[in-house]
């Protein structure tokens, strides 16, 4: 098994400069109401940056914000910036549970999330299940390609605690491996962690995680808008009684010269996955509203701010 996407050690100052470059550029746009950072930087070099840009309603901004990134900033930003209109930003606070908003520029907007406790519970369970399922998909791809994307794993492993909290569960067996993964993350830059340690942990973690998710999806319903859909051009999701997956395609031999970013893209073009999972479409009304919101903001961003990610937590359906 190969390892790519090795974390690179950067300072908090590197993060601050990368963020500052975006804030300075966006502050020149009159229709930008606010820029927020969400989350934190617990482990510089592994942590990524999440920025949310709130635009005036109806404003169209066709510029790709990542053009201001330096080489270092491209590493620190593992994905694009989130973007939303003022109206949909207010809606997003109802349907997402992003935390630790820090105002970097502009107007400090109302961050109150007004929703009943019962609906909040349903939404938290749905969002947690979606993230846990997406984690499984990521693990499947890496296992199938016989390649570990190390920084990606380190980023996702820590977030699992939020999902368990949202579901109000403490799954002891898988938690053991989650804590071991977090320990690998915390000690990576000390030089105490070997590739052998990572490979051994990954194999054991995958087996336990798959078993955990199979059981979990018996007790908690995962709602989706459709019983069959794609979340990527080569990843199909299909309703079934139990969790399983299959792959068609080929994987390059271990001697292949790997280029981190291009390697997975090349493999994705010649491999297709079919993931069977128990899903339901007859959802509570608040979950239906959540799906409708995700569709609306996805369409809005595509037209008005196409280079910004929509502020949603839901599974992105590939169309």
pLDDT, one tens digit per residue, over 43-54 is 999 999 999 999
What is the pLDDT, as a whole number, of residue 73?
95
pTM to 2 decimal places: 0.93
Query: What is the C-alpha separation between 126 and 118, in angstroms, rounded?
Result: 13
Q: Say whether pLDDT at 315 is over 80.
A: no
Q: Quick one: tokens of 171?
A: 């799954």
CATH 1.10.20 is right for the domain spanning 9-115+295-304:
no
Cα Rg of the chain (Å, integer) = 20
Measured at the alpha carbon of residue 205, what is the angle toward residues 201 and 206, in degrees to the nearest 5? 120
Q: In degrees rounded to 5, what are phi and psi of residue 38?
A: -120, 150
* pLDDT at residue 314, as a whole number: 72
- Bigger pLDDT: 60 vs 257: 60
pLDDT of residue 319 exceeding 80, the answer is: no
State the pLDDT confidence band at 39, using cuts at 50, 70 and 90. confident
Distance CA 205, CA 175 (A): 10
pLDDT tens-place string over residues 85-107: 999 998 898 898 887 899 999 99
CA–CA gap between residue 136 and residue 275 (Å, rounded)? 10
Q: What is the pLDDT of residue 290?
A: 94
> Which pLDDT value is given to residue 279?
95
**pLDDT greater than 70 at residue 318:** no
> Is 144 in contact with 271 (CB distance < 8 Å)?
yes
Q: Kind and range of the H or E element at 74?
A: helix 71-76
The answer to whether residues 102 and 37 touch, using CB atoms and an 8 Å cutoff, is: yes
Backbone φ and ψ of 237, nearest 5°: -110, 130
Pairing mode of beta strands 50-55, 82-85: parallel
pLDDT for the residue 258: 64
Lowest-confidence range among 162-171, 234-243, 250-259, 290-299?
250-259
Segment 64-89 mean pLDDT: 94
Does residue 206 surpass a pLDDT of 70?
Answer: yes
């Amino acid at each position: 098994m190969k390892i790519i996407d090795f974390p690179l050690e950067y300072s908090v100052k590197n993060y601050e400069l990368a963020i500052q470059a975006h804030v300075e550029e966006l502050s020149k746009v009159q229709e930008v109401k606010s820029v927020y950072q969400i989350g934190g930087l617990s482990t510089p070099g592994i942590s990524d940056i999440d920025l949310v840009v709130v635009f005036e309603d109806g404003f169209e901004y066709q510029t790709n914000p990542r053009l201001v990134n330096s080489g270092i900033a491209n590493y620190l930003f593992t994905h694009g910036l989130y973007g939303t209109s003022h109206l949909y930003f207010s809606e997003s606070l109802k349907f997402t549970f992003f935390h630790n908003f820090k105002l970097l520029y502009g107007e400090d907007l109302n961050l109150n999330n007004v929703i009943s406790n019962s609906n909040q519970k349903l939404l938290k369970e749905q969002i947690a299940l979606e993230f846990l399922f997406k984690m499984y998909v990521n693990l499947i791809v890496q296992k199938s390609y016989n390649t570990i994307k190390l920084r990606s794993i380190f980023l996702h492993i820590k977030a699992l605690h939020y999902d368990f909290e949202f579901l109000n569960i403490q799954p002891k067996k898988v938690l053991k491996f989650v804590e071991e993964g977090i320990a690998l993350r915390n000690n990576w830059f000390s030089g105490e962690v070997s590739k052998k340690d990572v490979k051994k942990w990954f194999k054991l973690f995958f087996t336990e995680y798959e078993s955990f998710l199979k059981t979990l999806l018996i007790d908690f319903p995962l709602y989706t808008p459709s019983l069959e859909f794609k979340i990527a051009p080569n990843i199909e999701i299909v309703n079934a009684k139990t969790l399983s997956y299959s792959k068609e395609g080929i994987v390059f031999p271990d001697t292949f010269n790997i280029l981190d970013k291009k390697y997975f893209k090349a493999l994705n073009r010649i491999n297709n996955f079919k993931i069977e999972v128990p899903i339901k479409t007859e959802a509570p009304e608040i979950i239906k509203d959540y799906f409708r919101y995700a569709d609306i903001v996805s369409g809005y961003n595509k037209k008005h701010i196409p280079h910004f990610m929509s502020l949603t937590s839901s599974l992105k359906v590939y169309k």
